[in-house]
Amino acid sequence: MLPGRDINSTRMRRLLVAYAVTLAVIGLPMSAAAHPHVFIDAVTTFQFNRERKIDRIALSWHFDDLYSSMLIDDFDRNRNGRFDPVEVQALYTEAFVNLWHYNFFTHIWVDGKERKIEKAHNFQAYILGQRIYYQFEIVVTPPIDPVKQHLDVGVFDPTYYTAFEMAPPRPVLFSGSSRPSCTYKIYLDQSHPIYYGAIAPHTIKVHCANG
Amino acid sequence: MDNRVPYCRQIPLLLSLWGVALLLALTQPGVAQAQGNPFGSSAPGGGRGPGPGAPMGSAPTFAPEGPLQGMHFILPVPVIRFMLRVAEAQRRFSEDLSEKMRAVGHGGSWRPAAVIVLLAFLYGIFHAVGPGHGKFVTGTYFMVRRARIVHGVLMGAVIAGVQAVVAIVAVLLLAEIVQMSGTHLLMNSVYLEAVSYTLVILIGVAMLVSSVLGRHSLFFGHSHGEGGDLPPRAGREMLSAAVAAGIRPCSGAILVLLFSIAQGVLILGIVATFAMAVGVAMTVGMLGVSTILLRHGVGTALRPSGRVATWTHRAVAVLGSLAIIGVGSLLLLGALARVGMPL
């Protein structure tokens, strides 16, 4: 208590700042299953119909080695190195359908409003090399006209159990014989933070123009 | 009181270490592009977001994390970029680890084993960087209770060690003996989570009771030398907190163990799990030690005396205990809400 008061108060101020920083760092950690445990590379394909509108979004997920190995162990039941139709069906009902609760990790915003995804179509699963691929489609109803509407699509797991990455080298594709000319931008989506604000997903913004 | 100065000297040091780590991540936006990262084109704030009208939690179908889901809170972009980098590093270590482990399983040569241990250790360090309940318990505990540096290190070690042992036992018992599928094993680990969070809540309650009763009326920043300055029950309380937090196995360790079984090198998986635990222990321990130092530093700087000290301490202890109870409850509800696992 005896040493100079002014020295003390500077130090005190410094320490209080430090204390606040630690509070911030410690106050955050509240997640149940911390950190990503699964890594997926995703390719998103926007499919145009004859009216030059997007009526389907096809997704391709490429799983990491550890998780692929586990799924192969669990679902390649006859051990022939590939998923037979009956095994794909098992994978679908036992592992994939549950993703409905998580919007199939696909978040579509049309003019800033999120579309709930009711169903994923044409689910397929493949073993290529040591890795598993999922492929499925989301039917967009009503179809989106990206020339007139703002379209943002984020592929992410809100719990961050799975970390998604945009698969290099071409994470976003456009398909359909009759379509406007489109480009996309991938941005750090700060309006949809996940993992208690410690992570922002990467979201695709689609720009299209007739021409 | 004499050891006040050395403690205070270490605080700026620790903080600068954190700062340097953050700065490194912060000042290299170009590196990611050079490494072929497709995210390079991201423009923070540049892109018009989907609008504030659609916070994530508003979608009623998102129930994965239960009650915490609706939070619309975001850390500064540099921190997020740092976290994304941490995730990238984890992925790299994980992929290298599996590749080496597969090589041992196929080739029979155990030479990559040393590399595997190193990779697992690094994976552990990075795996524990993000928010997690173990760090929450550690941080809050040491903010509430006075402890010695060594306790911070021990807390990290016990949490990580228990986690590793639980993961190993769970995999041996369920995957090897009961032949449960990996998918189900991961799904069922939610029950262990629930047990862990329940214990965390109970410890919070115990801490609250002893704080209110004033059994822990320790003065801020006072240190009476080596022995006898902590109450007799402190060790037990610390240990229970660490065990409670650690009883939930880490999914990452379970995946590594399952993979090692698939490759026929379970022993290597067990070794890697312990190596991961050392990494996790270092990150969690670092947080524990930092909190202890800061608490001590603040106590020394404020140097409250007599009744002020007693009441300040008691208030902090009560708030901290309540935080542990509150967060434990939210985590428990979240775990119970998760019926299946994501994939």
DSSP line for B137-173: HHHHHHHHS---HHHHHHHHHHHHHHHHHHHHHHIII
Given pLDDT bands bounded at 50, 70 and 90, which one contains residue B108?
A: confident
- Span B166-184, mean pLDDT? 92
Q: A86-90, B80-84, B305-309, B324-328: which has the minimum mean pLDDT?
A: B305-309
Report the pLDDT value the prediction gives residue B231, as an integer from 0 to 100: 67
Taking an 8 Å cut-off on Cβ atoms, the answer to whether B50 and A112 are in contact is yes
Is the pLDDT at B30 greater than 80? The verdict is no
Q: What is the ipTM of this complex?
A: 0.81
DSSP line for B247-268: TSPPHHHHHHHHHHHHTT-HHH
Give me Rg for the CA atoms of chain B: 22
A188 → closest Cβ in B42, B259, B341: B42
Q: What is the dihedral of CA B5, B10, B15, B20, to 10 degrees?
A: 140
Q: Are B298 and B220 in contact (CB under 8 A)?
A: yes
Is the pLDDT at B145 greater than 90? The verdict is no
Report the pLDDT value the prediction gives residue B10, as an integer from 0 to 100: 46
Closest residue on chain B to A99 (Cα) = B342
Residue B192 phi, psi dihedral angles, 5° rounding: -65, -35
Residues of A in contact with B78 (CB under 8 A): none
pTM: 0.78
Taking an 8 Å cut-off on Cβ atoms, the answer to whether A186 and B41 are in contact is yes
B80 → closest Cβ in A22, A98, A199: A199
Taking an 8 Å cut-off on Cβ atoms, the answer to whether A116 and B294 are in contact is no
The DSSP code for B313 is: H
Q: Are B162 and B312 in contact (CB under 8 A)?
A: no
Q: Are B133 and B285 in contact (CB under 8 A)?
A: no
SS3 content of chain A, % helix, strand, coil (to 5): 25, 40, 35
Q: Are A41 and A167 in contact (CB under 8 A)?
A: yes
Q: Give the side-chain half-sphere CA count within 13 A for B161.
A: 10
The DSSP code for A197 is: T
Question: Across chain B, what does the average pLDDT equal?
Answer: 75
Closest residue on chain B to A29 (Cα) = B131
Given pLDDT bands bounded at 50, 70 and 90, which one contains residue A13?
A: low
Taking an 8 Å cut-off on Cβ atoms, the answer to whether B80 and A98 are in contact is no
Report the pLDDT value the prediction gives residue B41, as an integer from 0 to 100: 26
How near does any CA of chain B get to the CA of A28, in Å? Answer: 6
